[in-house]
Chain A
Amino acid sequence: MRLIIRDDAEAASLYVANYIIDRIKHYSPTPANPFVLGLPTGSSPLGVYRILVERYKAGEISFENVVTFNMASPGDEYIGIPRDHPESYHSFMWKHFFSHVNIHPSRVHILDGNAPDLEAECVGYEAKIRAAGGIDLFLAGIGEDGHIAFNEPGSSLASRTRVKTLAYDTILANSRFFGNDLTQVPRMALTVGVQTVLEAREVIAIILGARKALALQRCVEQGVNHMWTLSSLQLHPHPMIVCDEDATLELQVKTVKYFKSIEQVACAQGFEQILPSRMRTGPRQATTSTPPASPKTIITPSVEPAEDVTPESPTIFAPQPITSQLLRPQTPAAEYPVRSVSPDLVPDRMASRIPDPRFTRRLTPNPEQQQMAALVLGA
């Protein structure tokens, strides 16, 4: 795991925005091979969106060939927040990002909390992610209880996109958007699952502020635990957490120092996150023939039939490894970067390194031979 610590929220947001822009530029997405970006809502990523919009307006980045999937959407068939509600995630994403950049609406995906069949909506969402070739980079925020997307404490770490009831803390936190009226806050939400996030080729979580400090500590310094779903990132091959100083308040000094030193060394060596070059440039044509990858037609708006999605919840039948079945042929876990390996020790004689031919005849000093020689000389 990489933990990037910046002095303040602005600097942390800038780091994330620059990282995303660099990734997209390296990838050089095309209409046939778009960059697939997972996006969060909430207050933490606001700075990132603002900087992305600024950079777009400055002509430094294009989102033309970027496909996006949003993590979660509050939806409640009882209250029914319409898409145009100012607090809907459609409105959030529109206001802070989509309305300002050149992303095409057919490449934007947000779970629809008002869909007539919510189960079908969830299954279809996973199918769409698959059809887009999987998510290249999932940007995430977290809650104070360490939830990633709306995967509240206690969520299965093998969960997939589904309807989720919200924790009381989340409802309380969200009530500020609904005039502090708890009865107006949706009780349920559609959200991608922990597994869905972990299947992304890369995950970046942005964590800002002292209120998130405990969650960060749990997720970084303690074990994988479904009560802090972000901790599941420890199982991902390429996780990165970007935080500000305030968010590190609960971490041990040695943890902070360790991750800062890693970053310094990495910078000195000229790399940030170690990713296989295939992931960076995304030549997915090599893997298109493998069964799980769908043809490269991007996004059919209609929900695909759920035939190949039958194991929505594989754990019911048999425990599955955390690493995805879906993306296994191209999953990062199968593609660790090749490092130069230190050669095995092959001992040699000191004498062989000396060019003087007289020495080549000499054997390694041997006490027995020396004794023999002394006897001969003495005789």
Chain B
Amino acid sequence: MPLATAPGNGITKLTNCRLVRGSDLVWDDIWVSSATGKILRSQSTFYDELILPDETIDLGGRIVSPGFIECQLNGAYGFNFSTVLDDMSQYVKQVRDLNRRLVQTGVTSYVPTVTSQTSHLYKKVLPHLGPSGRTRVAEDGAESLGAHLEGPFLNPGKNGVHNTKVLREAESIADLEEMYGAKNINPAVAGTALPIPVKMITAAPELGQMTKIIPELRSRGIVCSIGHSEATYEEASAAVAAGATMITHLFNAMRPLHHRNPGIFGVLGTANNNNDNDNNNSSRPYFGIIADGIHLHPATTKIAWNAHSAGFILVTDAMHLVGLPDGTYPWTNGGEAADHFITKKGAVLLLEGSDHTIAGSSIALLDCVNNFLRWSGASVPEALRAVTATPATMLGVQPAKGSLEAGADADLVVLDDETGAVEGRGRSLAVHQVWKFGAKVFDGASEAEAGEGL
């Protein structure tokens, strides 16, 4: 229980702030409860329960956004989710540390991503990466919504930095169960009421029987994403019709758009009228965009936004090197030992021995939002939607996440609007406070004071 010993009802009222509501910033108060971890319907709390908040916090006109949701995070602060440690209790501890640090960047929920690895690694790490918000402890920091398996059923021609030696083709769901461990992707085998650890799988639909496997994965509550794929427009459309609802880092690791063969990107140009009876499968998929200025040209980002803004999700694809100094770092990539090296130079990560193979990013999600704000001319609520409401809907965690409506989890980011504060930077947001389950877990103002005190 978060600070359950505090007297009173644990209700905090945030006032003098602008809430992200749809495509508007609305001046309104928001009431959160650390007892239930949820956003309250303030009016009925007042009239029906006759309760006033314990505390009222004046946010001085700042922006309140739902907590950010990161859909592709490979690791951070020197820890890589695709790692097997001799002592797996150390792994658990590292994940916990990462969660507590990650939440300070405004990311309150995320999907830990495991790259193409051997079956051994999946079976070792997946039990530790499943949904972690059940306990609803604010101090635990960022919450896993379930793991994202990016591989190994990927196209060797579009492997990016994935190790081609471990890539496989799947002929049936059994191949996936064997690879990942049946209890990790099959609720029937898991035999528990708890959700299975895997939330999302990226695969190349044109390989093996993957397209035919998609409906089965969907029925198990797993999001299927097209990525690292040579799929043509027709193959991608078939995958979408079968139930794929996401495209992993659009434009990267897939065929480029050709006007006579638009490839995977072309799916976003589909009219919404095929398969009208099958309501979900007919809609255009969501897609991840890495707005770090390296993976994609700003204009490309804008084109994707214009093509299908309702499916636009900003992701970092950040590696474990995020937050570390420049240098060359060892990396376990499919093998049992650290057999590869990544060179970090500023925000650019390159596979050692190559000039142009990008090995993920090292950018924070809020920086992606700021980049996108500057490049696209989108409004602040629109840009924030790409890291809140849209990913929440994609992952099926609405209305608990990605929303400021009453009844949603009280995961909040309070943002400073620093537009114009720094010459030449244009529009820019900065994290002021982060709230998780109705309790404040990060305060930039007090951190700054503490820093000055030293």
Contact = CB atoms under 8 A, between A and B. Distances in A.
B43 A99 contact: yes
Contacts of A90: 43, 47
Interface in B38-56: 41-44, 46-52
Interface in B43-102: 43-44, 46-52
B52 A94 contact: no
Interface residues of B, number: 12
Contacts of A102: 52
Given A99-B29, A105-B51, A84 B44 contact: yes
A260 interface: no
A94 B43 contact: yes
B50 A99 contact: no
Nearest to A90: B47
A95 B44 CA distance: 12
Contacts of A98: 46
A84 B43 contact: yes
In this complex, the member of B29, B42, B47, B48 whose beta carbon has the largest number of chain A beta carbons within 10 angstroms is: B47
Nearest to A82: B44
Contact of B43 (A91, A104, A106): A91
B368 to A, nearest CB: 35
A282 to B, nearest CB: 24
Interface centre among B44, B46, B51 (most CB of A within 10 A): B46
B102 to A, nearest CB: 34
B46 A83 contact: no
A99 B56 CA distance: 11
Contacts of A99: 29, 42-43, 46
A90 B46 CA distance: 10
B410 to A, nearest CB: 18
Interface string A72-92: 000000000001100000110
Contacts, number: 34
Nearest to A83: B47
B46 A105 contact: yes
A106 B46 contact: no
B50 A106 contact: yes
Nearest to A103: B52
Contacts of A106: 50
Nearest to A106: B50
Contact of A104 (B42, B44, B48, B52): B52
Interface in B201-256: none
A371 B131 CA distance: 127
Contacts of A100: 29
A183 B349 CA distance: 65
A92 B49 CA distance: 18
B47 to A, nearest CB: 6
B41 A94 contact: no
Interface string A101-141: 01011101010000000000000000000000000000000
A323 B48 CA distance: 35
Contacts of A108: 46-47
Contacts of A83: 43-44, 47-48
A105 B51 CA distance: 7
Nearest to A104: B52
A94 B50 contact: no
A105 B52 contact: yes
B16 to A, nearest CB: 9
B56 to A, nearest CB: 9
B36 to A, nearest CB: 18
B27 to A, nearest CB: 11
A106 B49 CA distance: 9
Contact of B41 (A84, A105, A110, A301): A84
A108 B49 CA distance: 12
Contacts of B46: 94, 98-99, 105, 108
A102 B13 CA distance: 12
B28 to A, nearest CB: 9
A106 B50 CA distance: 6
Nearest to A102: B52
Contacts of B48: 83
A98 B43 CA distance: 9
A83 B46 CA distance: 12
A47 B21 CA distance: 26
B60 to A, nearest CB: 13
Interface in B1-56: 29, 41-44, 46-52
Contacts of B51: 105
Contacts of B29: 99-100
B39 to A, nearest CB: 15
A301 B46 CA distance: 14
B155 to A, nearest CB: 52
Nearest to A95: B43
Interface in A4-25: none
A91 B42 CA distance: 11
Nearest to B41: A84
A367 B41 CA distance: 96
A104 B53 CA distance: 10
Contacts of B43: 83-84, 90-91, 94, 99
B42 A105 contact: no
A166 to B, nearest CB: 23
Nearest to B49: A105
Nearest to A98: B46
A369 B68 CA distance: 114
B9 to A, nearest CB: 12
Nearest to A105: B50
5 contacts: A84-B44, A90-B43, A99-B46, A105-B47, A110-B47
Given A99-B43, A301-B50, 5 more contacts: A90-B43, A91-B43, A100-B29, A104-B50, A105-B51
Give 8 nearest A-B pairs by CB, closest first.
A105-B50, A94-B43, A105-B46, A106-B50, A90-B47, A104-B52, A99-B29, A83-B47
